[in-house]
Amino acid sequence: MTASPILVAVPADVRSFENYDWHATPDTYLKALTRVAGATPVIVPALSGEFDVNALLGRVDGLLMTGSASNVHPDRYGVPPSRAHEPFDPARDRLTEAMIRGALAAGVPMLCVCRGHQELNVALGGTLATEIQELDGRMDHRATPNKDQRERYATRHAVAVTPGGVLAGIVGSDEIRVNSLHRQAIDRLADGLAVEASAPDGTVEAVSVEGAKAFALGVQWHPEYWAETDAASTTIFKAFGDACRAHAARRADAPR
């Protein structure tokens, strides 16, 4: 008997095209889920007021929070908005905050990438800094202006992995090289998050949720892009997939 596929919810961004609002996500995340994590992605429209988010989370085996060109609206962490914080996607903000909180409460495994990493910090009460390349002592983490995606997403710098942490247990190393492409970053770390990796300039590059019921990891870089060829990226997605399968088994064994 063939096992049922594990289902991973992926929140959509809202994009306007040809007089329609489209709910979509980049296919790099979807391919990493199918090819490496062994999961079937389910794109969730950013219409959180139209359906029960918690009911949805009860039907899936994991949650992947993707990166995006948009940023979390600063109203959500108590900072006046400015042009430096744009662009925004408030519909996604509403959906992802509900999904993060619901997943943590229900013990649904969760991997948060780039914007998702920042969304996790904000959902738990932390704040973000914008245009960090303008701050004293900070590196320029922004993507290079290159149309070749392989060049844009090439690994740029090393991160120090926290010894004995969740990420260290996954990648088996105290240092990995990453493709961290961002101009915003965690400012005040939310209570309940542990730092799992840092850039040479001190930027928080990975976090985990302390005491989480299941896999709950956030990374500022983009492991989805090289998930099939980079060892650290592969192990992150495989570990997430394994956690989703374990959650699926628990759901299957739960009394109905």
Annotation marks residue 182 as catalytic? no
114 catalytic residue (yes or no): yes
The end-to-end CA distance of the chain, in Å, is 22
Q: Are 218 and 145 in contact (CB under 8 A)?
A: no
Computed from CA positions of residues 171, 177, 178, 180, in that sequence, does the dihedral angle turn out positive or negative? positive
117 a catalytic residue: no
Number of H helices, E strands in the chain: 7, 13
In whole angstroms, give the CA distance from residue 61 to residue 103. 10
CA dihedral 10, 54, 81, 84 (to 10 degrees): -10
**Of 73, 97, 112, 114, which residue is the catalytic one?**
114
| Annotated active-site residue in 73, 85, 222, 247 | 222
Per annotation, catalytic residue among 141, 224, 244, 247? 224
Residues serving a catalytic function are 114, 222, 224
